[in-house]
A and B are shown apart, each in its own frame.
Chain A
Amino acid sequence: MDASWLYMFMPIAGVQIFWPGLVLIGFSVGTIGGFFGMGGAWMVTPGLNILGFPMAFAIGTDIAHIAGKSMVSTIRHSKFGNVDYKLGFIMIIGTMIGIECGAQIVMWLERLGQVGPVVRWVYVGFLFLISLMVFSDYAKAHKKKKQGIVEGEKGVEGFTWYKTLHKIKIPPMVHFKASGIYCSAWLPILVSFTTGVLAGFLGIGGGLLRMPALIYFIGVPTHIAVGTDLFEVMISGLYGAFTYTLKGRIELVAVFVMLTGAAIGAQIGTVATKYAKGYGIRLAFGVAVLCCMISIILKQFKFEMSAAILILGTISTICVYIVAIMLKGAAAELRAKKANAQMAAQA
């Protein structure tokens, strides 16, 4: 059987690519990104590389795809009321300055000839801290729930560091209506600046760091943290797409093919947040971060194939988990709707 129709020629990268693979990667990352509120460059790049893209093209293509995919997710999250635009715009200032400072630190390290190992191990360290924070937070919240401690209408929370940070009353004080928080404007600026410095230093989009920072340091509810972070990923992704294209490292055809899969995945991932509890999202996020950390360690020790398999295995598993949440939740909602309609008709 002739399977040549399953391959598409990429004129810029100069390679034949298995296009259903691109759609599948787009779908998976769209689902995961819409659920966790991050770009997911760490997932797409190895996937593209496996399909046959040279690494330089994989990174650029991935960034452009992330920008388009985040746009789809942001539109949907926005309708749920999950995007705090005011907070997003304020944080963009800190993020942009931070990314530039982080890039300068990398250049300084480059001059010292230390950049490669330092960046990788700092990245591993932060991923470890994030996953540790997420799991300890979950354990604490679970313990509180068992003890019957109830805090407000959102349910129990583990770490509430943001409550201490909200006590810092440096003007101007800002009310973020969508997130339901009132704090000094300097808090989100400082948090976004710090995550920006780290993102610039590590050469990543930053969603992986910003999402937990929004929850734990600013006190944004998980669902709104996801939506607001995607809004930021969208803007930084478009900027990244522009700079990478100037370097000639984007395969636009692949971006569009991936976006068709991502558009469906992003809807599923975003709608799934409606049926998931905040801690369900946080816990799955912790698992994803942990797998990302292990894959970087594997790469550091030259186990490239194992790292790629681990990443793609994680993507598949989490993707199945999210789709299951969405289907289960949607079926229950439709059943309840039908039952209500029947009861109303009987009455």
Chain B
Amino acid sequence: MKRLTHKLLAMVPTSILCLPVTLWAAGDKATNIVVVADTRRVTGVMKYFSNLYNTDILMYAIWAVILTAAMGCILGFLMDFIMERTGLDLKSRKIIEH
């Protein structure tokens, strides 16, 4: 029984190390870097931003920062709202080093 437990424990890190190989196979490998955004295969907002990338990179950079910050804030407060409903005390903690 002990041996079996050891074997099973050894399988956990092995499977974790094997997982990246599975992921490796999951996506198509990129061979060429597309310098210009491909607007033919996208629609709506994505088409607008792809066009912006091709025509006005400064404006695209400003939008990228604003949208990243906005997304971070929205998700941060949303997750905060959800976590507070778990009943955990999320406003205090005790600092113990060792």
Residues of A whose CB lies within 8 Å of any CB of B are: 7, 9, 11-18, 21, 24, 47, 50-54, 56-57, 64-65, 67-72, 74-76, 79-82, 141-142, 145, 154-157, 221-224, 234, 238, 241-242, 245-246, 248, 250, 252-253, 255-256, 259-260, 262-264, 266-267, 271, 273-274, 277-279, 308-309, 312-313, 316-317, 320, 330, 333-334, 337
**Known contacts A238-B68, A278-B95, A313-B13, A18 near B26 by CB under 8 Å:** yes
**Contacts known (A68-B68, A241-B65); A79 close to B75, Cβ less than 8 A:** no
B97 contacts A279, C-beta separation under 8 Å: yes
Rank and list the top 10 A-B pairs by shortest CB-CB distance, nearest first: A71-B72, A14-B34, A278-B97, A52-B27, A68-B72, A263-B75, A312-B20, A245-B61, A75-B76, A72-B76
Give the docked Cα–Cα distance between A17 and B60 (Å): 22
> Among B20, B33, B93, which residue has its beta carbon within 8 angstroms of that of A56?
B33
Does B69 lie within 8 Å of A68, measured CB to CB? yes
Which of A15, A82, A154 is the one whose CB lies under 8 Å from B28? A15
A11 and B30 in contact, given A79-B90, A157-B98, A313-B13 (Cβ under 8 angstroms):
no
With A54-B33, A313-B17 as given contacts, are A250 and B71 in contact (CB-CB < 8 Å)? no
Residues facing A in B42-67 (CB within 8 A) are: 42, 46, 49-50, 53, 57-58, 60-62, 64-65, 67
- CB–CB A75/B80 < 8 A: yes
Q: How far is the CA of A121 from the CA of B58 in the complex (A)?
A: 36
- Measured between beta carbons, the chain B residues less than 8 angstroms from A142 are 98
Known: A12-B34, A255-B68. A330 touches B88 (CB 8 A): yes
Of residues B20, B35, B38, B41, which shows the largest number of chain A Cβ atoms within 10 Å of its Cβ? B20
Contact status A260-B75, CB under 8 Å: yes
Residue numbers in A under 8 Å from B92 (CB-CB): 80-81
Q: How far is the CA of A313 from the CA of B72 in the complex (A)?
A: 27
**Across the two chains, which residue of chain A brings its CB closest to B89?**
A333
B-chain residues with CB within 8 Å of residue A154 when the two chains form the complex: 95-97
* Known pairs A56-B33, A80-B92, A259-B72 / 16 extra A-B pairs, C-beta < 8 Å: A11-B41, A15-B28, A52-B30, A53-B30, A65-B68, A67-B65, A70-B72, A74-B76, A75-B76, A80-B91, A142-B98, A157-B97, A221-B97, A245-B57, A259-B68, A259-B71
Interface residue from B39, B71, B89 paired with A68 (Cβ < 8 Å)? B71
Which residues from A are CB-within-8-Å of B88?
A: 271, 330, 333-334
B2 CB within 8 Å of chain A? no
CB contact between A21 and one of B23, B83, B96 (< 8 Å): that residue:
B23
Q: How far is the CA of A155 from the CA of B97 in the complex (A)?
A: 6
- Looking across the interface, which residue of chain B has its beta carbon closest to that of A281? B97
Residue of A nearest to B47 (CB): A11
Which residue, of A50, A256, A279, has the highest number of chain B Cβ atoms within 10 A?
Answer: A50
Q: Are A18 and B27 in contact (CB under 8 A)?
A: yes
Partner of A14, one of B38, B49, B71: B38
Contact A256 B71 (CB under 8 A): yes
The smallest C-beta distance from B75 to any residue of chain A, in angstroms, reads 4
Q: Which residues of B contact A16 (CB under 8 A)?
A: 27-28
